[in-house]
Amino acid sequence: MTTSQEVPVTADDAHGRVAELRAIREEVRRGPSEKATEAQRAKGKLTARERIDLLLDEDSFHEVEGLRRHRATGFGLEGKRPYTDGVITGWGTVHGRTVFVYAHDFRIFGGALGEAHAQKIHKIMDMAISAGAPLVSLNDGAGARIQEGVSALAGYGGIFQRNTRASGVIPQISVMLGPCAGGAAYSPALTDFVFMVRETSQMFITGPDVVKAVTGEDITQNGLGGADVHAGISGVSHFAYDDEQHCLEEVRYLLSLLPQNNRENPPAVECADPVERRGDSLLDLVPADGNRAYDMHKVIEEIVDDGEYLEVHERWATNIIVALARLDGQVVGIVANQPASLAGVLDIEASEKAARFVQMCDAFNIPIVTLLDVPGFLPGVSQEHGGIIRHGAKLLYAYCNATVPRISLILRKAYGGAYIVMDSQSIGADLTYAWPTNEIAVMGAEGAANVIFRRQIAGADDPEAMRSRMVKEYKAELMHPYYAAERGLVHDVIDPAETREVLIHSLAMLRTKHADLPSRKHGNPPQ
């Protein structure tokens, strides 16, 4: 009896065909050439397969259409038909849960999108939607494949259509690991989160050469659309990191905080941080004087499990904080004014940032905790001309439309329209709490006194003394810490040290919340 190794192998028997398959698979795994791989690494970039290995759990990747090749002709394409056609697609697991992925392989056609390339992406997107699992795109491509003409452009249309269909159904994460120019930039913009790597990834609609030709402005690729630009100025990127390894590690962390789809709740974990842990340091972290600044990050750290949270859009619109964290092992979204930046005022960018985050949380069943310390909306000609009314209305609309559990907590100031917009009880917050340092009013006492008692102040022998007396009178009558509670506008005034325990017990009660929305095709939110 002979072993399998002793059986003669020819191309016409099963053993020969399997050997041929293994050789082809190895060719697919290696990629086009060692030279192309070296060129990729010379730019400080990993290969597509190395990126997938970092993203997914070890040995969990299942490739789809690894043997796909294009059928295009002309411009020498018929003689160059590499396997994968420049994009690797498939599924694997992250922390044991299914995740779909596609990764551009810059070594093949510069990662440019052709017809077969696009069809592979379409298929994996359809699979992700059908399976109800997150989709992560690892982007490193040179745009549409010019040699294939309009067929390549149509491929982008199919991606955009699927991005939109998947929106609010499955989490979509775009990881920018190379150039992304022209229409290709719109797919990341349609997804839930965008990650970028400094120096190696850029996004722009028109590149530096076109900008210079049209406007005369001379700028580099990174200066026009690099990670720091989009993380700190445009707000296109939610996260920016120095290297691919750290970036992909954070993508894994983000996925651990998100549900698989809109029909599931975010994953809960065991929590060793006691529910009843007091936060006595909060009494010193937040000054009672509303004019003194403090860092809201420290408040969040004191309240959430083990002080850990993932801040989204950390460097853009820093006057408001949005973050994902856990309370007693359950994922929550946190929206908080930041008194250390512009006194925590709401402006155009802060409103947009918070509104998109609230919408994301609502889409994926993540309860929202709002921490208020807001003096109002930012005044100024540029804000009014820039449309602060419609941009502020985006945040108002997002909160009013959200059906997930919503709890708001007023730490200090909550003035005017900004108080209402930041998830007040009147727009549907399920529970509203306040600290004894709260000041809820139409405006600050000084401004209110100047309006209400204008004639008395003007006619007084000592206007400043009269103004001071009227300010104290207004505060005593309308701005004392229990005014809103006495009128049922907040559910309770709580000891700051008990904030964590109060929030956790409140969220536990709201976990089974169910809300029916009016029957409609969709709303028409402010733009």
Catalytic residue among 183, 232, 329, 428: 183
Rounded to an integer, what distance in angstroms lies between the CA atom of residue 191 and that of residue 235? 13
Identified catalytic residue from 116, 418, 429, 485? 418
State the Cα angle at 335 between 331 and 337, rounded to 5°: 150
**CA–CA distances in Å: residue 391 to residues 104, 133, 235, 356, 527:** 35, 32, 14, 11, 7
pLDDT score, position 1: 39
Q: How far is Cα 130 from Cα 166, in angstroms, rounded to an integer?
A: 10
Residues ≥6 apart with Cβ < 8 Å to 197: 176, 177, 227, 240, 241, 242, 243, 244, 247
Query: Are the C-beta atoms of residues 45 and 177 closer than 8 Å to each other?
Result: yes
User: Is there a contact between 294 and 340 (Cβ–Cβ < 8 Å)?
Assistant: yes
**DSSP secondary structure letter of residue 497:** G
Q: pLDDT at position 182, please?
A: 79
What span, in angstroms and rounded, lies between the C-alpha atoms of 277 and 260? 31
Residue 478 pLDDT:
66
pLDDT for the residue numbered 144 = 75
Q: Which residue has the tokens 């719109």?
A: 186
Instruction: For the beta carbon of residue 361, count every other beta carbon within 10 angstroms.
Output: 25
Residue 132 annotated as catalytic: no
The active-site residue, picked from 66, 110, 182, 235, is 182
Q: Is 154 a catalytic residue?
A: no
Summarised one tens digit per residue, pLDDT across range 29-66 is 888 888 888 888 889 899 999 999 999 999 999 999 98
pLDDT of the residue at 190: 97
Q: What is the structure's pLDDT at 3?
A: 41
Which stretches in the chain have pLDDT values below 50? 1-8
pLDDT of residue 174: 97
- Is 182 designated active site? yes
**Catalytic member of 132, 417, 428, 447:** 417
> Active site includes 178?
no
pLDDT tens digit sequence for 408-435 = 999 999 998 999 999 999 999 999 999 9
